Structure 1
Amino acid sequence: MNLKDVLAAWGLNASNFKEQKIGSGHIHQTLKLEGDEDYVIQKLNTAVFKDPELIEKNIGLVREHLAKHNPDYLFLASIPTLENKNVFFDGSHYWRLTKFVANSNTIDIVENPEAAHEAAKAFGELGKHLNGISIENFEESIVNFHNLDFRFEEFKTALENGLEDRKKHATAIIDFYLANDSILKVYNEFISQNTLPKRVQHHDTKINNVLLDKTSFKALAICDLDTLMPGYFISDLGDMVRTYTSSENEDSTNWDEVKLRPAYYEALIKGYLSEIETVLSPSEKANLHYAGQFMIYMQGLRFLSDYLQGDTYYPVKYDLHNFDRAKNQMLLLESLQQYLALKGLS
C-alpha cells in the first residue's frame, strides 16, 4: 500500500505534504510530513515489536494518566485514525501518526554536561509524572528486556554452547563478567526481597529520544515510546549513565578513551534528581549509583553472549565487532566502578 492510501486512514491528503526522512533510529521507518500542519508517520518494525497494538495500549494507559493528572505535559501519543484506532494496518504493515513538535531537533552525541543534565531532567520529569500510575494493565512490549537474571542465563548458555574458538579468544573478558556477578546478585536481591517499587519506565533513554528546542536546547518532549512498560528505575537511569557518560560510543575501539566522564555523570544525576527525587523511595535513592553498573554490565553480557554464539542478534560489520563491544562495556564499567570507589559511592 502506498503512503497516499495510508494517510487516507487519518483523513489526510498526501498531496498536501512534502515527505522528509528523519531520525537516526534503525527500527522503524520514520517520515516527517511537512504541510499546513506537520506530522510524523512511522512504519513499524514488527520483527522487533511483534504486537504494535499492545504497545499502543500501554501508551494509551500513560496518555490517560497524564491527561488526568498532568494535562499540560506534552506527551507524544499516536493520533487516532478515522476509525478511532491508534495504529493503522494496511494488510502488511502497521503505521502510526503523531504531531511533529515545532522547532524540535534530536542529537545523537552528548557533547557537554549541560546536554546530559537536560535529557536526564526530561526523563526524570516523565518518571515523576508517572509516579502512582497503576501497572496492572500494562504488558511487556519486549519480554525480559531488562531482566538481568534472564540475560545472565543467556550468557551461561552461550558459555556452554558457544563456538569454541570464540570462547578461547574471549577468555579474559569472560572472566571479567563472571567476576562481576555481584551486580547480578544485587539485582536478584532486589527482586526476591521486593526492594524496589515497579514503575512504568521508558526503557530506552538514549539522548536521541529527547526532542530538544533548536534555539534554547531545552527538552520539549520524550519520543520513541515503544518500550513504555513496567520496570525499575535502574533501567532508565542506568541507560542514561551507559550512553551519556562515556567519552566513546559502544562501537569504539579507541580503548584508552573508553572511560567515564565524571562531569557528565554528575550533571546527569543532578538533572534526574531535580525532577524525580521527591517521589523516589528510600531504597531507590540508596541505589542510585548501582543503576549504571547494572545497565553497562547487562549490555556487555548481551554483546559477549552474541559474540560467543556467532553473532545471531546484533548486526556486525566485522568478525570481532561484538567482542569489541563487550570489551568496550567492560572498560566503561571498570571506569565507573573506579570513580564510585574514589567518591565513596560504591
Structure 2
Amino acid sequence: MQITNYIPEVITKFKCMDSLGHAAPYGSGHINDSFLVKSENPTGPHYLLQRINTSIFSNVEGLTENMLQVTAHLKAKLADGSGDPLKEVMTLIPTHDGKYYHQDPAGNYWRMLHFLSDTRSYDMVSTEKQAYEGGKAFGKFQSMLSDFPSEVLYEVIPDFHNIKFRLAQLQESIERNLAGRLNTVREELALVKQHADAMLYFQQAETAANLPKRVTHNDTKFNNVLLDSNDEAQCVIDLETVMEGYVAYDFGDAIRTIINTASEDEADLQKINLNLPLFQAYTKGYLENAAGFLTDLEVQSLIKGVLLFPYMQGVRFLTDHLNGDTYYKIKFANHNLQRARAQFQLFRMLHEKAPLLQEIIQTEISNLKTLPAHG
C-alpha cells in the first residue's frame, strides 16, 4: 500500500481548523515525505503534512519534544511584540489525543504543521542579499535560543558532528575494505591524516571546558530558511536536528554550502572556487544578530567550523565509498569518491584562505562595535 493512501485517514487525526481537501507532494527535501494539504476554504489556513523518516529519526517522541520546547521558547521571545510568532516560528498541530504525531496502521509516523503562505526558499544562494538574509536568520535563531538550557534536548543523532567518531568510522572502513577500493584513495587518505589533529579541536578537553554549548540547528543549508515576498528572512524551518552543539557547527555548515562556486559533487576540481562576497554577506548578517551573545572564544571558533565541515563531509563520502556506497544514494559509479574529492578540494582552498576569512570575521565584529548606539 502506498503511503499516500494513508493520508486521508491521517489528516482526520489532527486538530485542523477547517475541512481539508487534496494533499499534494511538496518541497525538495530528501529525508521526510512532505505534502501540502489545502483547506477547502480558499483563504486557508493550509497545512504541511510530513511522514517522518524513522530510519534516520528513530525516536519520534524525543525529536518531537525537542521541536515543541524550542518552538515554544521562540514564540515566547516574539510575543513581546518584536515579531509575529505565527509567521516567524514553525507551529506544530496536535492530534485529537493530545500528541503532536500520529502512527498509522503501517507504522508510519506523521506530523502536521501550519503552512506558511507567501514564502519562498532557494536551494542555492545566488546573491549577496540572499546570503545576508540567511546569515540573519540563523543568527537570530541562535540568539533567541541562547538562554535556552540546551542540555535538556534529546540527542536526535548521536555524534552527528563528532569528527573523532567520523574518523573512527573511516578507519574501520579502511581495515575492512569491503569494496576493494582502498588502493584508489591513497591521496585522499593522506590528506585526511595530515589534518586530522587540527580537526579534533571541538573534541579536545580544553575546548569542552571553555567553549559554551548552545542550541544549534545542525542542518543550516540555505533552503532551511523561508524568505518573504521581499526576499527577507522570515522563518527557520526543518527543526528535526535541533540539539545541543557548538555555534561554529551551524556557521561552518552554512558556509560550506554557500561559499563553493561549484556543486557539492563537481568532477572538475578547477571549477571549485570561493565566493568571498557571499561569505562576507552571510557573516555580516549572522553577526548582526549573534554577536550580542557570542563569547570571544566562540567568535574565534567560527573559522574552525568553516574548515571542519568540508573536511568532515569529505571523510563521510570517502567512508561510504570504501564501504560500497551503503549510506548515500549514488547516481553513477564512484560518485561518493567524486563527492569526497570535491569536498577535499573545497577544504584545501578554505585552508589556504583561512587567514583572509578570519580577517573578514574580525572586521565584521569590529564594525558592529563601532556602530553608534540607538537611543
Structure 1 length as normaliser, TM-score?
Answer: 0.94
Superimposed CA distance per residue, residues 158-193 of structure 1 (whole angstroms, 9 cap, x where no aligned partner) = 222224741111111111111111332322226664
2:333 aligned partner: 319
1:259, 1:331 within 8 Å by CA — same for their partners in 2?
Answer: no
Q: 2:148 aligned with 1:126, yes or no?
A: no
* 1:136 positional shift: 3.0
2-structure distance, mates of 1:64, 1:344: 35
State the 1:275 CA deviation: 0.4
- 2:14 aligned with 1:4, yes or no? no
Aligned ranges 1:107-122 → 2 under 5 Å = 107-122=122-137
1:264-303, aligned counterparts within 5 Å?
264-303=278-317
Q: SS of the residue aligned with 1:181?
A: helix
CA deviations on 1:273-293 (whole Å, 9 max, x unpaired) are 010011011110112211111
> In structure 2, do the counterparts of structure 1 residues 344 and 19 end up closer, same or farther at CA, with 3 Å as the change threshold?
closer
Say if 2:66 is the partner of 1:66: no
1:55 counterpart = 2:55:
no
Aligned positions of 1:118-267 closer than 5 A: 118-163=133-178, 165-189=180-204, 193-213=208-228, 215-267=229-281
**Match of 1:225, SS?**
coil
In structure 1, what is the Cα distance between the partners aligned to 2:237 and 2:123?
14
Q: How many Å separate the matches in 2 of 1:313 and 1:159? A: 16
1:17 Cα deviation after fit: 2.0
Q: Quick one: distance in 1 between partners of 2:115 and 2:266?
A: 33
Identity of aligned residues (%): 31
| Contact kept? 2:15, 2:93, Cα under 8 Å | no
Call closer, same or farther: CA 1:12–1:5 in 2, change over 3 Å.
farther
Consecutive unaligned residues of structure 1, counting only runs of 5 or more, are none
Count residues in correspondence. 345
User: Runs (4+) of structure 1 moved beyond 3 Å?
Assistant: 11-16, 67-70, 190-193, 341-346
8 Å contact 2:13–2:95 — kept in the other structure? yes
Tell me how far apart the structure 2 counterparts of residues 193 and 96 of structure 1 sit (CA, whole Å).
35
Deviations 1:37-86 (A, max 9, x none): 11111011111111111111111111232243333442103111122111
Contact 2:202–2:208 (CA under 8 A) maintained in structure 1: no
In structure 2, distance between residues paired with 1:344 and 1:6? 50
Partner AA of 2:231 in structure 1 = F
Distance 1:175 1:163 in 2: 20
Using the alignment, how far apart are the partners of 1:17 and 1:338 within structure 2? 55
Q: How many angstroms apart in 2 are the aligned matches of 1:108 and 1:210?
A: 10
Mapped partners of 1:30, 1:185: distance in 2: 37
Whether contact under 8 Å (2:15, 2:94) holds in the other structure is: no
Amino acid in the other structure paired with 2:72: E
Q: 1:176 to 1:9 in 2, by over 3 A?
A: same
Q: Secondary structure of 1:283's match? A: helix
Change (3 A) 1:342 1:284: closer
What's the TM-score once normalised by structure 2's chain length?
A: 0.87
Contact 2:75 2:89 in 1 (8 A): no
Partner of 2:38: 34
Within the alignment, does 1:24 sit opposite 2:32 as a pair?
A: no
Distance in 1 separating the partners of 2:128 and 2:348: 21
Deviation per CA, 1:227-276: give whole Å up to 9, x if none. 01111112110110111110112122132111221111111111110100
Q: How big is the alpha-carbon RMSD for the aligned residues of Structure 1 and Structure 2? A: 2.0
Report SS of the residue matched to 1:128. Answer: helix
CA distance in 1, matches of 2:358, 2:137: 28
Distance 1:221 1:139, change over 3 A: same
